[in-house]
Amino acid sequence: MNQIIAFLSKIGAMLHPWMSEIATALVACTIVIFATDINRALRRSLSGSGFIIRTSAFVLVNAFGYGLAIVSISPWLASQLRGMPSQWMLLVVIGVFIGIGAWAQRNRQV
Protein backbone atom coordinates (compact mmCIF):
# COMPACT_ATOMS: atom_id res chain seq x y z
CA MET A 1 0.00 0.00 0.00
CA ASN A 2 2.86 2.38 0.79
CA GLN A 3 4.27 1.81 -2.71
CA ILE A 4 0.96 2.80 -4.28
CA ILE A 5 0.72 5.95 -2.15
CA ALA A 6 4.34 6.82 -2.96
CA PHE A 7 3.67 6.33 -6.68
CA LEU A 8 0.51 8.46 -6.60
CA SER A 9 2.34 11.11 -4.60
CA LYS A 10 5.21 11.20 -7.10
CA ILE A 11 2.91 11.47 -10.12
CA GLY A 12 0.72 14.04 -8.34
CA ALA A 13 3.79 16.15 -7.59
CA MET A 14 4.67 16.05 -11.29
CA LEU A 15 1.32 17.73 -12.06
CA HIS A 16 2.09 20.83 -9.98
CA PRO A 17 3.90 22.78 -12.76
CA TRP A 18 0.87 22.35 -15.04
CA MET A 19 -1.84 23.05 -12.49
CA SER A 20 -2.92 26.32 -14.15
CA GLU A 21 -3.36 24.57 -17.49
CA ILE A 22 -5.20 21.65 -15.88
CA ALA A 23 -7.55 24.04 -14.07
CA THR A 24 -8.19 25.98 -17.30
CA ALA A 25 -8.96 22.73 -19.12
CA LEU A 26 -11.37 21.64 -16.37
CA VAL A 27 -13.22 24.95 -16.42
CA ALA A 28 -13.32 25.08 -20.23
CA CYS A 29 -14.63 21.50 -20.49
CA THR A 30 -17.32 22.25 -17.93
CA ILE A 31 -18.36 25.38 -19.82
CA VAL A 32 -18.51 23.43 -23.09
CA ILE A 33 -20.80 20.88 -21.45
CA PHE A 34 -23.20 23.46 -20.02
CA ALA A 35 -23.00 26.05 -22.83
CA THR A 36 -25.68 24.30 -24.87
CA ASP A 37 -28.20 24.51 -22.03
CA ILE A 38 -27.27 28.11 -21.22
CA ASN A 39 -27.55 29.17 -24.87
CA ARG A 40 -30.88 27.35 -25.21
CA ALA A 41 -32.27 29.17 -22.15
CA LEU A 42 -30.94 32.48 -23.50
CA ARG A 43 -32.51 31.82 -26.89
CA ARG A 44 -35.84 30.96 -25.24
CA SER A 45 -35.85 34.08 -23.09
CA LEU A 46 -34.97 36.36 -26.02
CA SER A 47 -37.17 34.71 -28.64
CA GLY A 48 -39.40 37.75 -29.11
CA SER A 49 -36.54 40.24 -29.25
CA GLY A 50 -34.97 41.74 -32.32
CA PHE A 51 -31.92 40.47 -34.16
CA ILE A 52 -29.54 43.09 -32.70
CA ILE A 53 -30.58 42.34 -29.10
CA ARG A 54 -30.36 38.56 -29.59
CA THR A 55 -26.97 38.83 -31.27
CA SER A 56 -25.63 41.23 -28.65
CA ALA A 57 -26.79 38.98 -25.82
CA PHE A 58 -25.24 35.96 -27.52
CA VAL A 59 -21.90 37.74 -27.94
CA LEU A 60 -21.96 39.06 -24.36
CA VAL A 61 -22.71 35.67 -22.85
CA ASN A 62 -20.46 33.58 -25.08
CA ALA A 63 -17.45 35.84 -25.54
CA PHE A 64 -17.39 37.86 -22.37
CA GLY A 65 -19.36 35.69 -19.95
CA TYR A 66 -17.62 32.40 -20.66
CA GLY A 67 -14.26 34.16 -21.05
CA LEU A 68 -14.68 35.90 -17.71
CA ALA A 69 -15.67 32.60 -16.11
CA ILE A 70 -12.55 30.88 -17.43
CA VAL A 71 -10.26 33.74 -16.43
CA SER A 72 -11.73 34.12 -12.94
CA ILE A 73 -12.47 30.51 -11.96
CA SER A 74 -9.29 28.87 -13.31
CA PRO A 75 -6.82 30.56 -10.91
CA TRP A 76 -9.07 29.78 -7.94
CA LEU A 77 -9.42 26.15 -9.02
CA ALA A 78 -5.65 25.87 -9.58
CA SER A 79 -4.97 27.16 -6.06
CA GLN A 80 -7.47 24.68 -4.63
CA LEU A 81 -5.84 21.83 -6.53
CA ARG A 82 -2.35 22.94 -5.44
CA GLY A 83 -3.48 22.77 -1.81
CA MET A 84 -4.53 19.16 -2.23
CA PRO A 85 -2.16 16.40 -1.07
CA SER A 86 -0.14 15.08 -4.02
CA GLN A 87 -1.29 11.49 -3.59
CA TRP A 88 -4.90 12.57 -4.20
CA MET A 89 -4.26 15.08 -6.97
CA LEU A 90 -3.80 12.57 -9.79
CA LEU A 91 -6.90 10.64 -8.77
CA VAL A 92 -9.04 13.78 -8.46
CA VAL A 93 -7.91 15.25 -11.80
CA ILE A 94 -8.48 11.98 -13.66
CA GLY A 95 -11.78 11.42 -11.86
CA VAL A 96 -13.07 14.89 -12.71
CA PHE A 97 -12.13 14.55 -16.38
CA ILE A 98 -13.81 11.12 -16.50
CA GLY A 99 -16.86 12.63 -14.78
CA ILE A 100 -17.04 15.45 -17.33
CA GLY A 101 -16.68 12.92 -20.16
CA ALA A 102 -19.41 10.71 -18.70
CA TRP A 103 -21.69 13.72 -18.31
CA ALA A 104 -21.03 14.68 -21.93
CA GLN A 105 -21.69 11.14 -23.09
CA ARG A 106 -24.93 10.94 -21.11
CA ASN A 107 -26.13 14.24 -22.57
CA ARG A 108 -25.11 13.18 -26.10
CA GLN A 109 -22.46 15.84 -26.50
CA VAL A 110 -19.82 13.35 -27.63
The Cα–Cα gap between 79 and 77 comes to 5
In whole numbers, what is the pLDDT of the chain averaged over residues?
91
Across residues 41-60, what is the average pLDDT?
A: 89
Residue 19, Cβ density class (10 Å: 0-12 exposed, 13-18 middle, ≥19 buried)? buried
Residue 9 included in any domain: no
pLDDT reported for residue 94: 94
Give mean pLDDT, residues 69-91.
94
Could you give the CA distance from residue 94 to residue 103 in angstroms, rounded to a whole number? 14
Look up the domain containing 67 and give its range. Answer: 19-106
pTM over 0.95: no
95 found inside a domain: yes
Q: How far apart are CA 99 and CA 19, in angstroms?
A: 18
The structural domain count of the chain equals 1
Residue 2 in domain: no
Tell me whether residue 75 is exposed, middle or buried, using C-beta atoms within 10 angstroms of its C-beta: 0 to 12, 13 to 18, 19 or more. middle
What's the mean pLDDT in 21-38?
93
Mean per-residue pLDDT, 56-68: 91
For residues 44 and 73, what is the distance between their CA atoms, to the nearest angstrom?
Answer: 27
The stretch 22-51 carries a mean pLDDT of 91
